[in-house]
Structure 1
């Protein structure tokens, strides 16, 4: 049997710190501790050459269960739909209007953090309802 590998999810973006703060708040994640020798991430960032300052940020699950999220600055803007996206599981075990109400409540919370609501996809007999959204830089994700 193959070994299970740890992994992180990497997101290309223009403002890594801003996007990381959104996802920390959205998921209950936290910033990892700064590198050894630095009292804060701001200190570590100032130690970088100017072109590397603010080039990346990360957030981690404080319980250690979920994957690390890594955000890296790239020069190009987002041009097309993501090929990979996160499904934030807020309606697990819920069906019908109870599920939609849970999705809508979480949507309202995330919109207050800077997300954008795109559309509600209603249950179709095969799939339960989900809500398509975008984070603060337009990266798609779903409330599932």
Structure 2
């Protein structure tokens, strides 16, 4: 299935969300500060899950699946983002296990031609009482299925 955001790149899997780079996201050289990529990725992921009923609003979790922690974040910077404005964030799931998940992502220009950065983000769902890993709900599994990258088809 192909997902696209109006005015952005068309992708074969996952989802593309537009996020805005603001002036205060830039460093002294006018380049998106490296630490802001994690924040912008979060701003891309949040509306996707919120639109599907899994959110944190009004101080409340709409689902226990919202209670998770980032285990690992990796990123490779390819081309600097210089200045403010919209950026296309393509994200998908490479893995969705019993209690963990691994996203892959790319930051791209709005036309999709320039790849600014790419990487992975692994999370673990936690039990709020014990802070130990616990299984995702069926609701989260259903949403995650829409983001899973299809297995490679042999040629």
What is the TM-score normalised by the length of structure 2? Answer: 0.27
Q: Which has the larger radius of gyration?
A: 1
Q: Which has the higher strand share?
A: 2
Q: Which has the higher helix share?
A: 1
What is the TM-score normalised by the length of structure 1? Answer: 0.28
